[in-house]
Structure 1
Amino acid sequence: MTELISIRESSKHVDEEVRMHVWLTDKRSSGKIVFLQLRDGTAFFQDIVRKNDVSEEVFEAAKGLRQEASFYLTGTIHEDARSHFG
């Protein structure tokens, strides 16, 4: 089973598949990409859902999320030089 981590721990899991319990704080879409701004009580995190990388069902679910929705997210963490953890 995929390890459940907090956002604060995410920098220790770059290039690993993890699971997080998060809340949506903001969302924007740019055609084939959905940007999700997330929080979990320890920090904030940005998730990117690319249409070509997920099923149509997952992409539509990401587009349909409402602010403050709570959900579990499973995916691989990729480091971004502009990211700030903590």
Structure 2
Amino acid sequence: MAMSLKGKNTQYKLNRIQPRHFVSTAEYCMYPIDKAAKHYEYFVDNVEYAIAEVKGNISAGFPECVAAAIYAGLRKQARKRFPK
């Protein structure tokens, strides 16, 4: 990943990022953590909509195997939720 999430520990590896890391980054940046949590939930709630939008606008020659891997990664990340 070309960026990281800051906080107690810097997170670079996308597959290891958890929702709490977004909150930690918000806290590090002095952004309200309740707002950061709501933003995160909004994003994961709208993953399927975002994927559908991309599918509708992606170039015809874009490799399907690459697109499928990206969509799968987004869906996997979206299953990571804050504990209720």
TM over 0.5: no
Could you say which structure has the larger radius of gyration?
Answer: 2
More helix by share: 2
Q: TM-score, normalised by structure 1?
A: 0.29
- By relative contact order (CA 8 Å, sep 6+), the higher-ranking structure is 1
Q: TM-score, normalised by structure 2?
A: 0.29
